[in-house]
Amino acid sequence: MLIDGKLVEAEGGSVFDNINPTTEESLGQVANGSASDMANAVAAARNAFDNTSWATDTELRKRCLDQLQAALESEQEELRQELVAEVGAPIALTYGPHLDAPLKHAITWPREMIDKFEWSRSLGPADALGWGMQTERVVWKEPKGVVGAIVPWNFPAELTLTKLGPILAMGNTCVLKPAPDTPFNATRIGRLIAEKTEIPPGVVNVVPSRDHAVGEVLTRSPDVDMIAFTGSTATGRRIMEAAASTIKDVFLELGGKSALVVLDDAPLEEVLATAAMACIHGGQACAQASRLLVPRNKYDEAVEICKTSFENWKYGDPSVFENMQGPQINQTQQQRIIGLFDSAREQGATTVFGGGIPAHLEKGFFVEPTLFANVTNDMRIAQEEVFGPVLCVIAHDGDDDAVRIANDSTYGLSGGIHSGDLDRALAVARRIRTGTLSVNGGIWYGADAPFGGYKSSGIGRQCGIEGLEIFTETKLVGWPV
């Protein structure tokens, strides 16, 4: 663990095994932080924020972020292999969203924004009370304080870096709790901070733990000013409830049940030729579209095109470059997904492809890439976040009906629209209540792009200007002209 600038063992030397989901074997052991360890980390972060120059010294922050970037790049290949091993991430994806893409911008863009961010703005003089006193009013943006960052297992390096960059650039200190299933990338980052940067002790603390309850120290501590969490909606609710006890801010990026809407003028063959991409990384992506909405009069054709895509889909050992789908993260997730597949069939869905555990893979928590037809939007498989390799084909009766189905969800994180008419696609996009949308295959992702959701998909935005502002407090000051 990294606590107060030191690399330390957990209380009592407690450790737990980090399991490779492909081989089901231990990759090694990691410190199993306790509630007491977490409390020590919080105290260190509080002291670093209150009693060092980190919050005010922008030159120090820029220099330290440059050092962190260089340190990460120096062990980029080790991080890559680590992600394949502990996450089951397809190695091809580490050259994109799992590692190389966030490593290029997640630290560097917030660092550049330290000098560009509007830390102060004038509202101009005013006689606000009508007493004849002209007052100059200025809005200041200041660091939030101590941020508890809780990261999930599906894209752990990406999500850790896209939290650390803005948190640190804005002058905050933090305590990072990685997911129990994927701790090694976070402890590596902690070691790099300790060994290769001038980041002051306590500014960043890393506390892995097998016990999810250890995270409650962060959510309930009065010394923590904010929680930044990415994960399930159920856990997000518990965090929000716990954070209410100390009235702390929360950023929550939660689940999704995104819809890919294909309008009747879209080139069907072109759009659906890659339908099996719904199974990329085992479907373990919150923004992944798992509902495919196609025109009813083209439904059978659409299902056949999708089936061909699934038949040609490659999955298995994530270290093989051609395999874009590896295992699920653990056996619990694997069995939960199979249970949802069984429920879909019980409710009347038809299995077009897959639907079970692959017989040819003797080891690993794998699930077959699965295509369901005859799905209606009221089925569990269409309403619950599966987080598995599945695509459900749902018929719609035109633009209005497609919008209705897309919005008929407790979630509102992402989605996509395809049309031969860009203006028509954009008009539909305005009516779908999600935080992000891809139109005709456009990619919205980036360190400068605000990401988050509507409804049960969360509160706030990560990345972009909005993702910097959430890690600041707003102070208004006034003085006589």
Give the model's pLDDT for residue 212.
Answer: 84
Q: Is the pLDDT of residue 128 over 90?
A: no
Give the model's pLDDT for residue 419.
Answer: 98
Does residue 450 lie in a domain region?
no
Give the model's pLDDT for residue 380.
Answer: 98
Give the model's pLDDT for residue 224.
Answer: 98
Does residue 372 lie in a domain region?
yes
Do 343 and 297 share a structural domain?
A: yes
Residue 31: left if φ>0, alpha if ψ -120 to 50, beta else—which one? beta
Give the model's pLDDT for residue 337.
Answer: 98
Mean pLDDT of 342-364: 98
Residue 281: left if φ>0, alpha if ψ -120 to 50, beta else—which one? left
Tell me how many degrees the CA angle 124-130-133 measures, rounded to the nearest 5: 60
Q: Is the pLDDT of residue 238 over 90?
A: yes
Does residue 463 lie in a domain region?
yes
Give the model's pLDDT for residue 33.
Answer: 98
Mean pLDDT of 148-158: 98
Do 44 and 193 share a structural domain?
A: yes
Q: How far apart are CA 161 and CA 425, in angstroms?
A: 33
Q: Is the pLDDT of residue 153 over 90?
A: yes
Do 318 and 237 share a structural domain?
A: no
Does residue 387 lie in a domain region?
yes
Does residue 448 lie in a domain region?
no
Do 225 and 79 share a structural domain?
A: yes
Residue range(s) defining the domain that contains residue 384: 259-439
Do 473 and 386 share a structural domain?
A: no
Token representation of residue 380: 């569990």
Task: Give the pairing of strands 249-253 and 226-230.
Answer: parallel
Give the model's pLDDT for residue 25.
Answer: 98
Give the model's pLDDT for residue 352.
Answer: 98
Q: How far apart are CA 34 and CA 32, in angstroms?
A: 7
Give the model's pLDDT for residue 213.
Answer: 86
Give the model's pLDDT for residue 257.
Answer: 97
Q: What percent of the chain has pLDDT over 90?
A: 99
Give the model's pLDDT for residue 243.
Answer: 96
Q: For the chain, how many structural domains are there in total?
A: 2
Q: What percent of the chain has pLDDT over 70?
A: 100
* Domain containing residue 430: CATH number: 3.40.309.10
Does residue 445 lie in a domain region?
no
Q: How far apart are CA 217 and CA 35, in angstroms?
A: 7
The answer to whether 80 and 72 have CB atoms below 8 angstroms apart is no
The answer to whether 258 and 290 have CB atoms below 8 angstroms apart is yes
Does residue 452 lie in a domain region?
no
Q: How far apart are CA 22 and CA 87, in angstroms?
A: 9
Q: How far apart are CA 246 and CA 226, in angstroms?
A: 10
**pLDDT one-digit tens code per residue, 39-51:** 999 999 999 999 9
Give the model's pLDDT for residue 353.
Answer: 98
Band the pLDDT of 323: cuts 50, 70, 90: very high
Helix (H) or strand (E) holding 356: none
**pLDDT one-digit tens code per residue, 381-434:** 999 999 999 999 999 999 999 999 999 999 999 999 999 999 999 999 999 999
Do 282 and 204 share a structural domain?
A: no
Do 308 and 372 share a structural domain?
A: yes
Do 386 and 435 share a structural domain?
A: yes
Prediction pTM value: 0.97
253 is known as an active-site residue: yes
Do 195 and 78 share a structural domain?
A: yes
Do 268 and 304 share a structural domain?
A: yes
Least confident window among 209-218, 270-279, 327-336, 420-429? 209-218
**pLDDT one-digit tens code per residue, 364-384:** 999 999 999 999 999 999 999
Q: Give CA separation, 184 vs 149, 176, 206, 479, in Å.
A: 16, 13, 11, 51
Mean pLDDT of 301-307: 98
Do 424 and 302 share a structural domain?
A: yes
Catalytic residue among 158, 253, 385, 469: 253
Give the model's pLDDT for residue 104.
Answer: 98
- Tokens 């030397």 belong to 13
Does residue 449 lie in a domain region?
no
Measuring CA to CA, which residue among 37, 32, 41, 38 is closest to residue 13? Answer: 32
Q: What integer best gives the mean pLDDT of the chain?
A: 97
**pLDDT one-digit tens code per residue, 13-56:** 999 999 999 999 999 999 999 999 999 999 999 999 999 999 99
Do 131 and 10 share a structural domain?
A: yes
* Domain containing residue 199: CATH number: 3.40.605.10
Q: Is the pLDDT of residue 112 over 90?
A: yes
